[in-house]
Amino acid sequence: MTSPAKINLFGIPVEAMGMEEALDTVHHAISQHEPLQIGVVNAAKVVNMHRDPALREDVLSSDIIFADGAAVVLASKILGHSLPERVTGIDLMFGMFERGKEHGYRVYCLGATEEVSKKVEENIAHDYPGLILAGRHHGYYSEDEQQSIADDIKNSKADILLVAMTSPKKEQFLAKWMDYMGVSVCHGVGGSFDVYSGKVERAPERWQKLGLEWLYRVKQEPGRLWKRYLFTNLAFIGLLMKEKLGLLK
């Protein structure tokens, strides 16, 4: 399957691809039993990749990388490349679920708490008949348990593995185990299970369209998040200025 051109942003090859093309790419990988490790980047991850060489290596090991954040799409325009749209990890997940109803995708869900994981299982059964939950496991496991979890995923014959864990834990897991598990599509979805279970409220659509989901999160937990987002956003603007001036290493 021919892929659109990649756009180099901050040293990261980001796909110039919209949501429908992304879902077509996922379906092609599943139907052809080809490995497809999906990565997504937002402003925070771009900043952290420049601070953490190990995270950078893990993200760049992905077969395809999408712009999850509105800030990355805006940066592409400022830098003269212009990505068509953002492909958020959570919306890509829901798109996979929707197509899975028709095609009978087998999905394995890894991550979040046991309570959230169970609720996701119930919601999938209710919302997406035809989609097969091949298995699930919470995300609070020890290093010693990784092998047994990878074995369970391998034995589930899943087409899609969704990893709902924070960076860099999810990138490290996928980089280490993807080839062994034999799953066609692996996608790190961060806190998407918390949203789908109802534990965390997602920003309203108008906030999403304005690229202000981060601000909505700060509004929900100001004491914990305001400083993190302030410094991350300032660092991203600094990287953008350096990239624009050709000074970014």
Phi-psi group of 104: left, alpha or beta (phi > 0 → left; psi -120 to 50 → alpha; rest → beta):
left
Neighbours of 97 (CB within 10 A): 20
Q: How confident is the model at residue 4 (pLDDT cuts 50, 70, 90)?
A: low
- What's residue 2's pLDDT? 46
For the sheet with 132-137, list strands across it.
64-67, 36-41, 185-188, 160-164, 106-111, 132-137
Whether 234 maps to a domain, the answer reads no
Q: Is the pLDDT of residue 38 over 90?
A: yes
Q: What's the rounded mean pLDDT across residues 204-222?
A: 77
Instruction: Find all residues with CB under 8 Å of 247, minimum gap 6, and list them.
Output: none
Is 174 within a domain? yes
Q: Is residue 217 part of a domain?
A: no
User: What is the pLDDT at residue 213?
Assistant: 81
Residue 238 lies in a domain: no
Q: Give the pLDDT confidence score for residue 3 in this predicted structure.
A: 54
pLDDT at 233 over 90: no
Domain that holds residue 127: 6-197
- Taking the C-alpha atoms of residue 177 and residue 173, their distance in angstroms, rounded to an integer, is 6
Q: What is the pLDDT of residues 171-209, one digit of tens each?
A: 788 888 988 999 999 999 988 999 999 998 887 888 887
CA-CA distances (angstroms) from residue 224 to 42, 199, 230?
19, 17, 12
Does some domain include residue 43? yes
CATH number (domain holding residue 163): 3.40.50.10700
pLDDT band at 49 (very low <50, low <70, confident <90, very high): very high
Q: Does 55 reside within a domain?
A: yes
For the beta carbon of residue 94, count every other beta carbon within 10 angstroms: 16
